[in-house]
Amino acid sequence: MTASTTFSPSSRTATAGSARRWIRALTVGAAIVAASAVWFVASALGVDFHLADGQGEVVLTLPIIAGFTLVCSALGWAALALFEHFTPSAAKIWSALATAVLVLSFVPIFLEHATVGTEISLVLVHLAVGVVLIPRLPKTTSRG
C-alpha cells in the first residue's frame, strides 16, 4: 500500500491562509521588537518616558510599549482581514488607513507634558511600528 497525498484547491487555500497568518504574526512580532528596540536605546540614552497631563502622570515602561504595540498591531491585522473579506482593494485601503492612523498618532504625543527626548522617542517608536507593519501586512493579502 502506498501513501499518496493529493491537494485539492481547498487544501491549497487552507495552506496559503495558514502561511499568511504565520507571516502576519511574525510581522506583528517584528513590530513589537522594533518598538522595544527604540525604547531600549532611548532609555539607555537617558530618556525617562514620563508623561503628565491634567489627569495624572505615567511612565511608559517596556511592557506598556510592547503591550500597546501588540494591541494596535492586532487591531491593524483585524482591520486588514475585515477589508479582505469585503473588497478586492483591501491592501490599498488598509495601507491608506494605516498611514493616516500613523500620522494622527503623533498628535497625542505633543499634547502631553513630556521632555523633548521623550517626545522624539515616542515619535520614533510610532515610526518603527509603522515602518514594519505598513509595508509588510498588506503584502500577504490574497486579493488586491
> Domains in the chain: how many in total?
1
Asked whether residue 33 is assigned to any structural domain, the reply reads yes
Asked whether residue 2 is assigned to any structural domain, the reply reads no
Q: What is the pTM of this model?
A: 0.85
pLDDT surpasses 60 at 9 = no
Task: Give the tens place of pLDDT for each residue, 65-99.
Answer: 999 999 999 999 999 999 999 999 999 999 999 99
Asked whether residue 3 is assigned to any structural domain, the reply reads no
Q: Which structural domain, as residue segments, surrounds residue 46?
A: 9-140
Asked whether residue 132 is assigned to any structural domain, the reply reads yes
> DSSP of the chain, one letter per residue?
--------HHHHHHHHHHHHHHHHHHHHHHHHHHHHHHHHHHHHTT---EEEETTEEEE--HHHHHHHHHHHHHHHHHHHHHHHHH-TTHHHHHHHHHHHHHHHTHHHHHHSB--HHHHHHHHHHHHHHHHHHHHHGGGG-S--
Task: Give the tens place of pLDDT for each residue, 104-124.
Answer: 999 999 999 999 999 999 999
Asked whether residue 15 is assigned to any structural domain, the reply reads yes
Asked whether residue 4 is assigned to any structural domain, the reply reads no
Asked whether residue 100 is assigned to any structural domain, the reply reads yes
Percent of the chain clearing pLDDT 90 (strictly above): 78
Asked whether residue 52 is assigned to any structural domain, the reply reads yes
